Structure 1
Amino acid sequence: MDTNLRFSMLNRDLPGAKDRTAKDPIIAREVQYYEENFSKVETVDDLLNDYRLYTFVMKTMGLEDMSYAKGMVRKALVEGTEDPKALANTLNDKRFRELAEAFPFNKDGTIKGKFDWDSKALDRRMALWSNTPGQEIDDVDRLAKYYQLKMPRDVLFSTQILADPALYEIITVAFDVPEDIINGPKSERIDWFDENIDIEELKKPAELKDTIAKYRDNLEVREAERTKGIVEQYIQVNFEEEEGEQNDGVRLALNFQRTGGNITSAYEILGSPALYQVVRTVLGMSESMVGTDIDNQAAVINEKFDIKKFQDPEEVEKFVKKFVILYDAQNGTGGAPTVQLFAGNPIAGISESALTAVNALKFGG
């Protein structure tokens, strides 16, 4: 079956097609293993040393071909993306940045989400009283205890909440404080808290318990949504891989359909072999360009196509449609050779019907 027809058939019921992949026994077992074991990861080495978890994560992020580079992966994970000089931000390969954002770790190698009870900003008495000597107490339970001890005893102003990591953690999660406020200037955070948080009300016994309940519920919802997103991406990658075993053009088209809207520069295209093959095919970039100066290749892409157009889903759809038609023309049953399109002799080796279909798909101005 040709690329264009198969791609069109799949798009008539993508959820159903992916559901069939999800029910594959091998894939279902790996999903179950991830769901049951990732919550036990406390350090980056826990992840790197668990072959099944590590393989699952790398495949999910489209980095299976880089699984051997554990040192590089470790560096990307622990450095994160906040520092512009972090490894993930300096690579043309956007996949490493996506990996670091999806699986955040602290610089000391501990996974983000584990609370820093050694922080000097905490009330040391409350940190001590919230602990249970001789036992391992869960962060969520300890934070709840700390909050219920600290809030009614000492808190009078919003600035005290912002200055205390434990109180801030509880309230930002319990009240779904927007990310732009959490990451914004201190003055904006103070204004938001003053407008939305009634401290005297929160200190009442019933409200203390209610806030903790909302905190626990929201944490569970966030973790469930995060896990669901990771699992769906893993299934999608496997779905694309399975289609690629029959027709690599379909795999490339599905991948571009999923990720094309996130492209912001020509260098991101050049950093991904899958994206580059689609773009090179549609823009008629010759095989001889592969491996040449990267800045020159980026300039050619920018000259032929405005990358900003990928922000429009309709433009991504048209780009993919052009690709599947041209992929069939170049790799179909007739064995048409690779040709340069839109330059030189653009119709060499391509049938009149294929050329007509391609030309009908005009990109936006």
Structure 2
Amino acid sequence: MDTNLRFSMLNRDLPAAIDRKGKDPMVAREVQYYQENFSKVETVDDLLDDYRLYTFMMKTMGMEDMAYAKGMVRKALVEGTEDPEALANTLDDGRFKELAETFPFNKDGTIKGKMDWTDENLDEKIVRYTNVPGEEIDDVDRLADYFQQKMPRKDVIFHVQLLADPALYKVVASAFDVPSEIIDGPKEERIAWFEENIDLDELKKPAELKDTIAKYRDNVETRAEENTKDIIERYIQVNFEAEEGEQNEGVRMALNFQRTAGDITSAFDILGSPALYQVVRTVLGMSESMVGTDIDRQAAVINEKFDIEKFQDPEEVEKFVKKFVVLYDGLNGAADVPTVQLFAGNPAAGISESVLTAVNALKFGG
């Protein structure tokens, strides 16, 4: 079945098709394993040493082809993306950056979200008080206990003192839904936001303390559930696309582009993904000879040929993908035809008049 027809058939009820894939016994088993075991991961090596979890992660991120490069994957995970010089930020392959953002770890290899109870900025007496030797205490419970013990004390008078204590900051940032741009922004902006939005005297009152802790617990649980749900949905979708790709690689690329195009904010996002780049290069008629050339030049060509902001419009994405599947069929239906000739509409390229008519009928918005 040709790309255009198969892609159109799937889109008649795509959610149902993906749902059926999620019920596939093999996929369901791996999803269950992830749900039951990822919460036990405390360090990056826990993840890398568990073959099934590691394979699940790499497949979810569309990085099965890089599964052999564990050292490189480890480095990307622990370095994260905050430092411009971090590995994930220096690679042309944007999948590494997305991997580090989806599965965040600290520089010491511990998974982000786990509290470092050895931090010298914590109150040592309360750290000891909230610990029970020989008993493993959940971070959420211990942080809630720490907050309840520390917050009413007289040594928390100013917002800078609250911000300087990692445990207090962690609880309040979650309970009050502090925007990520504030959390990741300059210290002065964090202080200003806290001073404007949080009344320390009110926060110290028993009823408010109890309410803050309840909101903290609820938000941590909700975010964990949402994150797990998003990752599982992506894993099922990727498996679905891979299955389609076994029959027709063009369908796989079209489905992937349809799913991820809304996340494209610049030409460099496209260049960082081989799959996205192939779709864009096909539609925009970019010669294969451009691949591997100066990345800034490639980005400039993409920007010259198409307004990236249009990918925020679902209708424009639909038109773009439709052009791709028609061109993909034309390309693969004509033997030994150079890509550049295909996109130039060269009659000698062997592309049928019906294909060219269909492509030309799909106009991008102004």
Please report the TM-score for the alignment, with normalisation by the length of structure 1: 0.92
Shift in alpha-carbon separation, 1:320–1:143, aligned structure 2, 3 A: same
1:318 maps to what in 2?
A: 319
* Aligned-partner Cα distance in 2 for 1:62–1:198: 45
Is it true that 1:95 corresponds to 2:91 in the alignment?
no
* Aligned-partner Cα distance in 1 for 2:198–2:131: 27
2:229 maps to what in 1?
A: 228
1:360 maps to what in 2?
A: 361
Identical counterparts, % of pairs: 78
Q: CA deviation at 1:109?
A: 0.7
Q: CA deviation at 1:360?
A: 1.5
Is it true that 1:60 corresponds to 2:60 in the alignment?
yes
Matched-pair contact (CA < 8 Å) for 2:282–2:343: no
Deviates more, 1:254-263 or 1:212-221: 254-263
* Equivalent position amino acid for 2:58 in 1: M
* Aligned-partner Cα distance in 2 for 1:294–1:196: 44
In structure 1, list runs of 5 or more residues that go unmatched. none
* Aligned-partner Cα distance in 1 for 2:36–2:206: 35
Deviates more, 1:265-274 or 1:352-361: 265-274
Q: Secondary structure at the match of 1:15?
A: helix
Matched-pair contact (CA < 8 Å) for 1:326–1:354: yes
Is it true that 1:203 corresponds to 2:204 in the alignment?
yes
* Equivalent position amino acid for 2:183 in 1: I
Deviation sequence 1:231-290 (CA, Å, 0-9, x none): 011011001011111221110100111122333444443443322321232223344555
Shift in alpha-carbon separation, 1:159–1:23, aligned structure 2, 3 A: same
Shift in alpha-carbon separation, 1:274–1:165, aligned structure 2, 3 A: same
Please report the TM-score for the alignment, with normalisation by the length of structure 2: 0.92
Question: How many residues are matched?
Answer: 364
* Equivalent position amino acid for 1:69 in 2: A
1:145 maps to what in 2?
A: 145
Shift in alpha-carbon separation, 1:243–1:198, aligned structure 2, 3 A: same
In structure 2, list runs of 5 or more residues that go unmatched. none
Is it true that 1:75 corresponds to 2:82 in the alignment?
no
Matched-pair contact (CA < 8 Å) for 1:92–1:268: no
* Equivalent position amino acid for 2:169 in 1: Y
* Equivalent position amino acid for 2:137 in 1: I
* Equivalent position amino acid for 2:158 in 1: F
Matched-pair contact (CA < 8 Å) for 1:170–1:215: yes
* Equivalent position amino acid for 2:142 in 1: R
Q: CA deviation at 1:126?
A: 1.6
2:134 maps to what in 1?
A: 134
Matched-pair contact (CA < 8 Å) for 2:122–2:167: yes
* Equivalent position amino acid for 1:182 in 2: I
* Aligned-partner Cα distance in 1 for 2:309–2:75: 31
* Equivalent position amino acid for 2:232 in 1: V
Deviates more, 1:302-311 or 1:81-90: 302-311
Is it true that 1:285 corresponds to 2:293 in the alignment?
no
* Aligned-partner Cα distance in 2 for 1:242–1:353: 29
Shift in alpha-carbon separation, 1:276–1:347, aligned structure 2, 3 A: farther
Shift in alpha-carbon separation, 1:298–1:121, aligned structure 2, 3 A: same
1:299-338 equivalences under 5 Å are 300-332=301-333, 337-338=337-338
Matched-pair contact (CA < 8 Å) for 1:330–1:349: no
2:350 maps to what in 1?
A: 349
* Equivalent position amino acid for 1:305 in 2: F
Is it true that 1:125 corresponds to 2:125 in the alignment?
yes
* Equivalent position amino acid for 2:130 in 1: S
* Aligned-partner Cα distance in 2 for 1:344–1:223: 51
Taking only aligned residues, the RMSD between alpha carbons, in angstroms, comes to 2.2
* Equivalent position amino acid for 1:184 in 2: G
* Equivalent position amino acid for 1:330 in 2: L
* Aligned-partner Cα distance in 2 for 1:280–1:57: 28
Matched-pair contact (CA < 8 Å) for 1:336–1:350: no
2:8 maps to what in 1?
A: 8
1:237 maps to what in 2?
A: 238
* Aligned-partner Cα distance in 2 for 1:263–1:331: 27
Matched-pair contact (CA < 8 Å) for 2:345–2:356: no
Q: CA deviation at 1:5?
A: 1.6
Deviation sequence 1:193-226 (CA, Å, 0-9, x none): 3333232333233332222222111111000000
Deviates more, 1:230-239 or 1:241-250: 241-250
